[in-house]
Amino acid sequence: MISLDKLGLGETAIIESIETDFLPLKLIEMGCLPGNEVSLLYLAPFRDPMYLKIDEAHLAIRIEVAKYIMVKLIS
């Protein structure tokens, strides 16, 4: 298990756990929940923000937030 900020470009993972104290409510509402699939689509310069696809939603999140989302890579 790794944190989301360690996900490589083009990799896909399953969200295992989240620390809700540090995660904005908007991300939870958009599907950032355990069991959902997440893919890293693009990276801005310096890897911040990260542009992700979580289930059918596309969103950008900052590295500071991604550190609190634990994922398991899909092989």
Q: What is the DSSP letter of 40?
A: E
Q: Report pLDDT for 75.
A: 67
Q: Is 48 exposed, middle or buried (0-12, 13-18, 19+ CB in 10 A)?
A: middle
Rounded to whole angstroms, how far apart are CA atoms 38 and 48? 17
Q: Report pLDDT for 61.
A: 92
What would the two tokens of residue 40 be? Answer: 């890293």
Q: Report pLDDT for 38.
A: 95
List the one residue out of 29, 16, 30 whose CA is nearest residue 68: 16
- Note the pLDDT tens digit of each residue in 23-72: 888 888 888 899 999 999 999 988 889 999 998 889 999 999 999 999 99
Quick one: 2-73 is in which CATH superfamily?
A: Ferrous iron transport protein A (FeoA) (2.30.30.90)
Q: Report pLDDT for 35.
A: 94
Q: Where are the domains of the chain?
A: 2-73
Mean pLDDT of 6-10: 93
